[in-house]
Structure 1
């Protein structure tokens, strides 16, 4: 097979990002006809259908595999431009996936110096948010170049780095405890107690109940609040019991705005950073500077060491 067409790969990445030919054309500053033509040319080159023309469109499995290559090519292009000291005409975006609780607590401070530098040098990050048990799927499908995840084992072609442990504790507002839990939280009444849950992927509350009360698959009176910041606000307002990152609610506990339920019980979630390997082995040993993706991993590892449990 001849070298894959770079313009076609750019179109594939834009289609994956925008999920429509019209928006992909706007992103690339070309016509929709040109997007379709470049995609058809790439599909003819590999002999496989890469995109299902639906609304929204979706990538086929071969398309996802090729998208991984396109993302890596973009990252390598960013590194080359940076090493040459040239500012790219179109800033490159390096997509990574993180979980919402990490984003609300330690990720932004960890990445801030790198992002500030990117504003000057013409590159940027794109943050994709999902549950920590599912960010790894974004990496596997080629949508992102790296992810913060609970998965320990690295994919083939990737490296994995342990970050630390995010500790979750059960809390409620003092007024809620007085009104709803005068006798404490007991197993026999668990179905009547409102529990705040981030979304339907979130099982942190079930894990806490299992540890605290010995109940497996308890029926919880779930109330969904799909935002880390709003979740903590809802707990503070007395909407229900929350199981939240200790890092995030520590000031509220110290002020007495929240009280811990069973402080001896906590759910520890181990986090890892995964990223694709880019470039030839040994580049760093030959004096090449770390890739931007490596720098993102290093920044996250440093921020995690300062914020998370060991």
Structure 2
């Protein structure tokens, strides 16, 4: 397969429109469309929807990971060997797309960004997704690597255990007091909770372990900083990573917030999955991730 055609396919999916993809590749819209059509003729399948945003079809999803790997390998080769470089021209960058759960991205993974700030040959694209689902982005070819709960390697990938993130159930003392019965017990079916998104299952899982089958008021706050603030304001209770909880909370000396003892802490073991094909930039990223994960808590 022509790598220019594969690159056009990958960029179309990433950019969301043919126009934006053509502009990124610095070719005309008609030339870009011809590359997509040529690739579809070669494989005998329609690969992308002609919608906004552009989406891979079922056949396109099957090809996307291979296409992304091929493009990445070509970029690595061009960088290493200096293909098509004019005197004084900067070497091309290698693009790596990575899926990371939002809590990690806002805490221990920041050390990876600190290391990557010294790299001049890598362009990093991050996708924030719940740790239970990041491996899906790896499987469908959206990303080349992922921080995930899933220890089973996606086909064509390697998996390495990173460590454990501990989450504490935190609530405003005033919020809990408003939902206590005459016996002093908290009515958990009435206490509002906060979730990061519709696929965040930490809080609901904790309620199920308490034997609570009802669905309390649920606020969706898709920002780590705003989520933690919402818990602090008493909007609802939520699970907060140990590295982000305020001083004095675990010790019981915080003036406003308390640990929900009835629920207790929950630990999530994270893994690093990435393509099996070895390229130097992926190896470097993997080493940075493992160093950062050693200080996860």
Which residue pairs with 1:197 in the alignment? 195
Q: Is 2:3–2:71's contact at 8 Å kept on the other side of the alignment?
A: no
Q: Is 1:232 paired with 2:234?
A: no
Cα drift, residue 218 of structure 1: 3.3
1 CA distance for matches of 2:79 and 2:165?
A: 34
Partner deviation per Cα, 1:172-220 (whole Å, 9 max, x = no partner): 134434444587653xx22211111111111111222233x233x3322
Paired with 2:263 and 2:227, the residues of 1 have a C-alpha distance of 22
Query: Aligned to 1:307, what secondary structure does the other structure show?
Result: coil
Structure-2 separation of matches of 1:180 and 1:16: 48
CA distance in 1 between partners of 2:43 and 2:184 (Å): 63
Which residue does 1:94 correspond to in 2? 96
Contact 1:207 1:267 in 2 (8 A): no
Other structure's SS at 2:125 match = strand
Give the number of the structure whose residues are more often helix, by fraction: 1
Q: How does 1:281-292 map to 2 (within 5 A)?
A: 291-292=280-281
Any residues of structure 2 matched to 1:166-185 within 5 Å, and which?
Answer: 166-181=165-180
Q: 1:264 to 1:130 in 2, by over 3 A?
A: closer
Unaligned runs of at least 5 residues, structure 2: none
Q: Structure 1 35/76 Cα, relative in aligned 2: closer, same or farther at 3 Å?
A: same
Distance 1:151 1:265 in 2: 23
Cα 1:67/1:264, change in 2 over 3 Å: closer
Please, what is the CA RMSD of the aligned residues? 2.3
Residue 117 of structure 1: aligned partner:
118
Q: Distance in 1 between matches of 2:2 and 2:71?
A: 13
Output the TM-score relative to the length of structure 2: 0.88
Does the CA contact (< 8 Å) of 1:95 and 1:127 recur in 2?
A: yes
Instruction: Output the CA distance in 1 between the equivalents of 2:80 and 2:118.
Output: 14
Change (3 A) 1:264 1:43: closer
Cα distance 1:59–1:126, how it changes in 2: closer, same or farther (>3 A)?
same
Aligned to 2:36: 39
CA deviation map 1:13-49 (0-9, x unaligned): 1111012111111111111111100111111122222
Find the residue that maps to 2:247 and give its secondary structure: helix
Report what 2:206 is aligned to: 208
Counterpart Cα distance in 1 of 2:112 and 2:32: 37
Q: Does 1:55 find its partner at 2:37?
A: no
Residue 264 of structure 1, CA deviation: 7.0
In 2, the alpha carbon distance for the partners of 1:88 and 1:72 equals 23
Q: Give the deviation of 1:81 after TM superposition.
A: 4.2
1:103 — aligned with what? 105
Q: TM-score, normalised by structure 1?
A: 0.85
